[in-house]
Amino acid sequence: MSELRDNGLKPRVLVCECAGTMGENIDFERLERAFADVAEVERSPVWCNRQGQARLLELMEEDGSRPLVFAGCSQDFANRRFHRLFERGLRLEVADIREGCSWVHNGDSESVTDKARRIVEAAIEFPGAHDDKMVLENRVDSVLVIGGGVSGTQAAAELAQMGHRVELVERRPFLGGRAARIGTVFPTNDCGQCLPTTDAQAGVRKCFHRNVAIDNENMNIWRRATVESVSGRPGDFEVSLRQLPNIVTQDCVNCGLCEEVCQVGSEEEGGKAIFSEFYDGRVQRTVDLEACTFCGACAEACPVDAIDFSQSPELTTVHAGAILTAVGCEPAPARLVEHLGYGHEHVVTQTEMAELMDEWEEASWLGEQPVKELVMIQCAGSRDRRRLPYCSRICCMIALKHAIRLRTLFPEMKVTICYLEMRAAGVGYENWFLAARRAGVEFLRGTPSEVQFDAEGRPVIEVEDVTAAEKKILRPDLVVLSTGMVPANDAGRIAEVLNVDLDEDGFIDILDRKNRATETTTEGVFVCGSAAGPKALVECNTEASAVASEIHNFLSSAGRKSVPASTVDAAKCIGCDTCEAACPFGAINLIERPADAPRPAEVKGDGKLAVIDGEACRGCGICAAKCPELAITHNLSDDALFGRLRTMTGGVERPVVGFYCKECAGAAISLSGLRHDHYPDSVRLIELPCLGRISALHIIEAARLGAAGIFLAGCAEERCQYRTGDLSAEEQIELARELLEEAGTPIPLELWHLCAVDRHTVGRRIRLFCARAEGSEEAYRAGIELERVGSVPCAGGGDCVHASA
Amino acid sequence: MSTLVPEQARATVRELEAQCRQCLQCGQCIGACPNGFELELGPRRVVRMILSQDVEKLLKCEDVWRCSECQACTEACPMEVDVAGMMGRVRELQMEFGGVRCPERKVAEIATKRLSRKNKIDNMLFGTAMVSRGFIPSDLLATAEMGIKMSTGKVRRRPRLTVEGTEPKPFYAGCSLQQDKEAFNATAKVARELGFPLAEQEGAGCCGHGSRGKVPAKLETDKSVFTVCPACDYSLQEVEIETEPVWQALVEHARREELKLAAAKPRFVPYVGCLTDRETALGSLADAAELADAEMVSSYPGLHAGCCGALGAMFRGPTEAVLKLIDFAAENEAPIVTPCLLCRDNVRSAVRSAKKKVHVYFWPEFFQAAGTAATTADGEADD
Ligand code: SF4
Ligand code: SF4
Ligand code: SF4
């Protein structure tokens, strides 16, 4: 017990009796005596009450440089109890002898006291690294938003209002995207071209064409522009933009003379090569550059000389601290619904139906009914493993909206919806389903596999009515396909430029489906709206606001609290690239080894050297665990880790060693401790920042130290906060298993996936594992039997019935 | 009851269950099934029974015998369940464990009984085919002998198939054409006259179509063969023998060589049955119509591709699909033309039982090379 802290001062150990709750199995006199030589020991019945904290403050102020070790409750618990003192700079090395020892073991004072002693000893000798204030390089206070649809524009407007500079890039000449063009939207049944934000009246929706938030002076709108390339780093990206000219200048008064003279057809609204879309309002008119023949007829006709064909494309570079991609999605291509007759004049998609709706409404005013019978087919090309395997989530609601409107306009029209499931799970959506049934829409459960046509060209649909279990023939006049949505056609290119992953369906992959739905796999690059998968307008609006505040946080975090980054020892690194491939955050790069860099003997002149980008490193330790040369130092060094292992496994013949990740598994274990759920004191736990820190070497060392069994407890599957820590641990445990088997000394090795809900069961799991490790398979079975008999959940407290196996 | 089901059957169903867990119960399989209107349960519910491991019901389910193994359901399934395969596995299961529940045997029995009383019904020939494939109980030896006699060629004149000087194409006649000398002659005639020589594969045996039991195909060749029966195409392809329907090849040939065809009547209703590839088959009939200046009257493709009534190999009475087709033909006062000989017989039987005046032709009976005697048969349904 000699390695003391850097400053050479003996540490002070504050022993807490926690109001007598540990007296039953910890002999405090003995515990105190154990450290008398190496530390100043001060014991108190309660450290966290008023007097205790006052005394702690005194110690801090008197003797600030002396390391403090607190032997009492867990880190989590102590953090909460002493938070005021922590705010004032208190640094405590916590040795959890309460929920990590006394509370989870039964009465054998001798062995429990010895274990407590070891916990304190490990904390004195091998203290953990303290969180550092990492200073991040300055973040450019501007955001590049790609996509001027409803999601992108709203997020851009909100960010601009927060005071950030915004570069909004839109591929088309007009803002508003799909939603503004589509007509009415659910669940409100009004137009899709309003944003919920305005400067003047927060929370009041306003049309796109007159929404002052979009005209915020912090916002710079790039129409007809695309992102060519991105370089730089999170916090300071350099983006090159390519912008096509609008041809029609701001002088345009929208008289429409140009459109009259234009003889060239186009797909755009109005059908001419010079056209306008009125919902944007900021740009009056533009030219379809693909269709235009540059004949100049419009320029001649223009009374205000607003048409200028001399403009050319421009390349510009902008800087952005963060990037938001909101490129949206688009309707599935025709080839996915050809089997349902798409391409035939009597078959349309719901998007086309939305456009037809205006015409049909007019027809209804004249008392006309365009068709007698109409069939909608849900999941057209969707939820189909050969076409679109996913559910686009909005098609059911669109169908309901259209069906209700049709039945309202034309009470004589027969409207049938062939569906598989009606997915109406949003707020108030079920009412739409009810309303549709009440409106007399017929719901036929069953999906047609094809649409055929008779000699007159009328659609014929053979479909099983699944509920009635019989096959039927429908002969509608019009078939409406509820097609799914697919990623925007340049989503793949954008992802490549931004270096973000796509998910299995080709949409921008989000970092975490539960908690971080607006972050991509690349730091500093965000996503919102349908770019990450088809969404209703409701969700797009919500996500736009969410991502704006997310980006605001990102840009404002000039420094963040973080553990120190890992470092590579050039004298050991052989440039093998194992770490580069293993780092889940791309923080490691192999560089040409500088001439003056230290090197291992076997590395000659040139060769590579791994370097870690301190800002990108999150400190998971996966690289340190995998480096074959042990060249990487993690903030929990190998010395400390092996040291803790040695200290903790002493004093008991056949310890059961548990390495656990301090996140989810840590939560389960410490909460289980709070419940006083008992397990044998031969269990020795070692906390890790992430299970990825473990290497086969650590496991084998534990076995060498006499472990009867070893378990690794990490987060729930695929929920590692460092993305691949559990996978790395799985590899390492398998490697260790092989090595131990080869050596002829196999012991039980298990990998557990835990989360906080497992607090009820983890105690039992540890007890059973001990039975298995210490005894034979029969003992394990007997253990299970025993647990079953006494399966009343442990109530904790003094009369806990759990006996150690 | 459950104790009577052998564990082995349960184990098989458990295996099948694991293969269809992704089923959505969407019903697309029934929607696509040409026999869909005749089925009591249909493939979706067979899959459902597999999923719920209702072995007793599966062993009693007759629908699996109404399946013509056309694969339409498997092709339609959005979840990639091998639906047709499931139907087949349940059939096998019934053969192994259900015993009496194999309607094929019953049908063959009935057919052979009728055969001994009245020897000119359309199904007779088909029944004989069943005889040669061993579906006849051994005590009905006389019938079996008759079948053998018919298939040894003693009772038919062998028509000339080859044309001098050209390389004859390997031709696989299968069982149905072998039994019907008129049809055989008509096929040979049109091929000869169009200058498309065929060389019959001697002793080629049964194609082994699965729904007739597990008779392996006897033919061994590495060449592509021409066929007249879609079931033959299907089964030969199973054993990796390439096939091409001869009439399709003939139409293509005629088109290429700019030969004209002659039709027996100015207009006709096409019918391709469930096993034939619907798109190509209807396309070839349309082409033939064009080459013969005849009019093809059709409604939607499904109507011309439903089940003929040979549910599970034997005619069991007209199906809804074929009755609709006959109505359509009667309304349009046009005969029905089909490229499948089995379909012709079954549709004829259906016409008779529906008491309609509609003629049904096998393709070479309707189309001949232009300038030759137009037809050898009149497509009559009556005796
Ligand atoms: S500690 Fe983790 S994040 Fe840091 S460099 Fe190593 S693997 Fe990457
Ligand atoms: S088509 Fe496929 S998924 Fe649909 S009910 Fe049939 S087997 Fe199931
Ligand atoms: S294989 Fe054909 S006949 Fe059999 S169930 Fe499938 S679709 Fe129906």
Nearest protein CA to atom 4 of ligand 3, as residue: B67
Helices (H) and strands (E) in chain B, counts: 17, 10
Return the best residue to mutate from A589, A618, A641, A690 for the ligand 1 pocket (most ligand atoms within 8 A of CB): A618
- Label residue A282 exposed, middle or buried (CB < 10 Å: 0-12, 13-18, 19+): middle
Question: Ligand 3 center to residue A477 CA distance, Å?
Answer: 29
pLDDT of res. A714:
96
Report yes or no: A560 and A136 within 8 Å, Cβ to Cβ. yes
Asked whether the predicted pLDDT for residue B138 surpasses 70, the reply is no
Range ranked top by mean pLDDT from A455-469, B56-70, B266-280:
A455-469
pLDDT of res. B67:
84
Asked whether the predicted pLDDT for residue A121 surpasses 90, the reply is yes
Tell me the average pLDDT of chain B. Answer: 78
By percentage, how much of chain A surpasses pLDDT 70? 94
Asked whether the predicted pLDDT for residue A794 surpasses 50, the reply is no
A296-344 per-position pLDDT tens digit: 999 999 999 999 999 899 999 999 999 999 999 999 999 999 999 999 9
Q: CA nearest A676: which of A802, A520, A773, A565?
A: A802
- Rounded to the nearest angstrom, the minimum Cα separation between A446 and chain B is 5
Look at strands A68-72 and A485-487 and give their pairing.
unpaired
3-state secondary structure of A31: helix
| Domains annotated on chain A, with CATH | 1-128 (3.40.50), 142-244+313-328+490-556 (3.50.50.60), 245-312 (3.30.70.20), 335-486 (3.50.50.60), 566-634 (3.30.70.3270), 636-791 (3.40.50)
pLDDT of res. B221:
78
> pLDDT band for position B229 (50/70/90)?
confident
Query: Which residue would you say has higher pLDDT here, A797 or B344?
Result: B344
Contact of A66 with chain B, judged by CB distance below 8 Å, is answered with no
- Tell me how far apart the alpha carbons of residues B353 and B314 are, in angstroms, rounded to a whole number: 16
Q: Pick the residue from chain B with its C-alpha nearest to A386.
A: B78
The DSSP result for B308-334, as a single string, is: -S-GGGS--S--HHHHHHHHHHHHHT-
> pLDDT band for position A559 (50/70/90)?
low
Identity of the amino acid at A716? A
- Rounded to the nearest angstrom, the minimum Cα separation between A447 and chain B is 6
* Per-window interface: A 357-416 vs B, CB < 8 A: 379, 383-387
- Rounded to the nearest angstrom, the minimum Cα separation between B267 and chain A is 15
Which of B26, B44, B302 shows the shortest C-beta gap to A452?
A: B302
pLDDT of res. B165:
53
> pLDDT band for position B12 (50/70/90)?
very high
When pLDDT is averaged across residues A408-429 and rounded to a whole number, the result is: 95
Tell me the average pLDDT of chain A. Answer: 90
Ligand nearest to the CA of B63: 3
- Tell me how far apart the alpha carbons of residues A420 and B25 are, in angstroms, rounded to a whole number: 8
pLDDT of res. B376:
45
> pLDDT band for position B208 (50/70/90)?
low
Alpha helices in chain B (DSSP H): 7-19, 28-32, 42-51, 55-60, 72-76, 83-93, 103-117, 122-132, 141-151, 174-179, 181-193, 230-238, 246-256, 278-291, 320-332, 341-354, 363-366
- Tell me how far apart the alpha carbons of residues A181 and A149 are, in angstroms, rounded to a whole number: 10
Contact of B373 with chain A, judged by CB distance below 8 Å, is answered with no
When pLDDT is averaged across residues A113-134 and rounded to a whole number, the result is: 85
pLDDT of res. A698:
96
Asked whether the predicted pLDDT for residue B128 surpasses 70, the reply is no
Asked whether the predicted pLDDT for residue B135 surpasses 50, the reply is no
- Rounded to the nearest angstrom, the minimum Cα separation between A490 and chain B is 27
Report yes or no: A572 and A631 within 8 Å, Cβ to Cβ. yes
Range ranked top by mean pLDDT from A566-570, A603-607, B64-68:
A566-570
| Length of chain B (residues) | 383
The minimum-distance atom of ligand 1 relative to the CA of A619 is: 1
Name the residue ranges covered by the structural domains of chain B. Answer: 2-97, 169-382
* Per-window interface: B 44-73 vs A, CB < 8 A: 44-45
Q: CA nearest B151: which of B173, B169, B118?
A: B173
Q: In this structure, what token pair is assigned to residue A606?
A: 């040139």
Report yes or no: B328 and B300 within 8 Å, Cβ to Cβ. no
pLDDT of res. B224:
85
Contact of A346 with chain B, judged by CB distance below 8 Å, is answered with no
Question: Ligand 1 center to residue A609 CA distance, Å?
Answer: 15
- Tell me how far apart the alpha carbons of residues A780 and A787 are, in angstroms, rounded to a whole number: 10
A250-261 per-position pLDDT tens digit: 899 989 999 999
- Tell me how far apart the alpha carbons of residues B288 and A676 are, in angstroms, rounded to a whole number: 87
Nearest protein CA to atom 2 of ligand 3, as residue: B70
Q: Is the CB of B79 under 6 A from ligand 2?
A: yes
pLDDT of res. A732:
96
Lowest model confidence (mean pLDDT) among A53-57, A179-183, A203-207, A567-571: A203-207
Report yes or no: B302 and B18 within 8 Å, Cβ to Cβ. no
Q: In this structure, what token pair is assigned to residue A458?
A: 């009328």
Report yes or no: A641 and A686 within 8 Å, Cβ to Cβ. yes
Question: Ligand 3 center to residue B42 CA distance, Å?
Answer: 8
pLDDT of res. A132:
61
- Tell me how far apart the alpha carbons of residues B326 and B328 are, in angstroms, rounded to a whole number: 5
Lowest model confidence (mean pLDDT) among A100-109, A352-361, A595-604: A595-604
* Per-window interface: A 414-433 vs B, CB < 8 A: 420
Best B20, B22, B24, B28 member to test A by mutation, with max A CBs in 10 Å, is: B28
Contacts of residue B29 in chain A, CB cutoff 8 Å?
A: 449
B293-344 per-position pLDDT tens digit: 999 999 999 999 988 877 765 666 788 899 999 999 999 999 999 998 888 8
pLDDT of res. B158:
45
When pLDDT is averaged across residues A212-224 and rounded to a whole number, the result is: 91
Question: Ligand 2 center to residue B79 CA distance, Å?
Answer: 7
Nearest protein CA to atom 5 of ligand 2, as residue: B25
> pLDDT band for position B149 (50/70/90)?
very low
Range ranked top by mean pLDDT from A274-288, A365-379, A603-617:
A365-379
Nearest protein CA to atom 7 of ligand 1, as residue: A583
When pLDDT is averaged across residues B179-188 and rounded to a whole number, the result is: 81
- Tell me how far apart the alpha carbons of residues A668 and A656 are, in angstroms, rounded to a whole number: 18
Ligand nearest to the CA of B43: 3
Cβ A471–B36 below 8 Å, yes or no? yes
How many Cβ atoms sit within 10 Å of the Cβ of residue A138?
10
Taking the CA atoms of residue B313, residue B318, residue B324 and residue B329 in that order, the dihedral angle to the nearest 10 degrees is: 90
Lowest model confidence (mean pLDDT) among A268-282, A331-345, B203-217: B203-217
Q: Pick the residue from chain B with its C-alpha nearest to A463.
A: B31
Asked whether the predicted pLDDT for residue A175 surpasses 80, the reply is yes
By percentage, how much of chain A surpasses pLDDT 90? 73
A490-527 per-position pLDDT tens digit: 899 999 999 999 999 999 999 888 888 999 988 899 99
pLDDT of res. B203:
63
Topology classification of domain B2-97: Fumarate Reductase Iron-sulfur Protein; Chain B, domain 2 (1.10.1060)
Lowest model confidence (mean pLDDT) among A290-299, A616-625, A772-781: A772-781
Asked whether the predicted pLDDT for residue A5 surpasses 60, the reply is no
Contact of B76 with chain A, judged by CB distance below 8 Å, is answered with yes
Ligand nearest to the CA of B91: 3
Q: Pick the residue from chain B with its C-alpha nearest to A465.
A: B27
Q: In this structure, what token pair is assigned to residue B269?
A: 């209703």
Return the best residue to mutate from B33, B47, B49, B86 for the ligand 2 pocket (most ligand atoms within 8 A of CB): B47
Q: What is the largest CA-CA distance in chain B?
A: 69
A565: Cβ contacts below 8 Å, ≥ 6 apart: A134, A587, A612, A613, A614, A615, A617, A619
When pLDDT is averaged across residues A574-578 and rounded to a whole number, the result is: 91
Angle between helices A664-674 and A762-774 (to 10 degrees): 90
By percentage, how much of chain B surpasses pLDDT 90? 33
Report yes or no: A731 and A622 within 8 Å, Cβ to Cβ. no
Ligand nearest to the CA of B20: 2
Asked whether the predicted pLDDT for residue B55 surpasses 50, the reply is yes
B277: Cβ contacts below 8 Å, ≥ 6 apart: B230
Q: Helix, strand, coil % (nearest 5) of chain B?
A: 50, 10, 40
- Tell me how far apart the alpha carbons of residues A617 and A689 are, in angstroms, rounded to a whole number: 13
Ligand 3: which residues within 6 Å by Cβ? B 32-35, 43, 67-73, 83-84, 87
pLDDT of res. A221:
95
Cβ B76–A449 below 8 Å, yes or no? yes
pTM for the full predicted model: 0.83
